């Protein structure tokens, strides 16, 4: 009874020794290429603002906020807030999520004097990544 089990066991391990490297190599070859990240300043025509830590370029026109990540941006799951200060508090308004690979466009509410700072916050890191004042922006 033990001899047939040993034979099956040897066959299975021989098969796995040959099949697993082939499966891993096939999987690595079949991977999708990493997407090309569009971080060109040409996407923001005209005047744009650079954030405090130079991670994001921002442009405001016609109550729309356009944001584009610079080459130094490498942070997970970022949310964009409109706030009265460089912090996220109960008075901050969520504008949306930030995708570092694309030009992001957000609809701005009517700006008042208390909401003049755009804050980029990462819940994954529980930290404010960057911010930019909208002073003088239209």
Tell me if 96 sits within 8 A of 52, measured CB to CB.
no
Which whole number is the average pLDDT over 58-78? 85
Q: Show the tokens assigned to 103.
A: 């030009």
**Cα distance between residue 138 and residue 136, in whole Å:** 6
Same-domain check for residues 112 and 52: yes
Query: pLDDT, tens digit, for every residue of 93-110?
Result: 999 999 988 889 999 887
Tell me, what CATH number does 58's domain have? 2.60.40
Length of the chain: 138
Query: pLDDT, tens digit, for every residue of 75-134?
Result: 888 999 998 888 888 888 999 999 988 889 999 887 666 678 899 999 999 999 999 888
Same-domain check for residues 63 and 99: yes
Count of other CB atoms within 10 angstroms of residue 23 = 10
Same-domain check for residues 98 and 117: yes
Domain of 18 in residue numbering reads as 1-31
């Amino acid at each position: 009874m033990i001899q047939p089990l040993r034979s099956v066991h040897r066959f299975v391990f021989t098969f796995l020794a040959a099949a697993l490297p082939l499966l891993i190599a096939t999987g690595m070859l079949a991977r999708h290429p990493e997407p090309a990240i569009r971080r060109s300043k040409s996407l923001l025509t005209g005047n744009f603002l650079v954030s405090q830590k130079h991670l994001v370029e921002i442009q405001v026109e016609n109550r729309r906020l356009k944001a584009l990540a610079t080459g130094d941006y490498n942070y997970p799951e970022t949310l964009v807030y409109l706030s009265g200060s460089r912090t996220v508090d109960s008075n901050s308004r969520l504008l949306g999520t930030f995708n570092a690979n694309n030009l992001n466009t957000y609809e701005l509410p009517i700006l008042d004097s208390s909401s003049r700072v755009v804050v980029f916050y990462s819940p994954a890191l529980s930290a404010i990544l960057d911010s930019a004042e909208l002073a003088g922006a239209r």
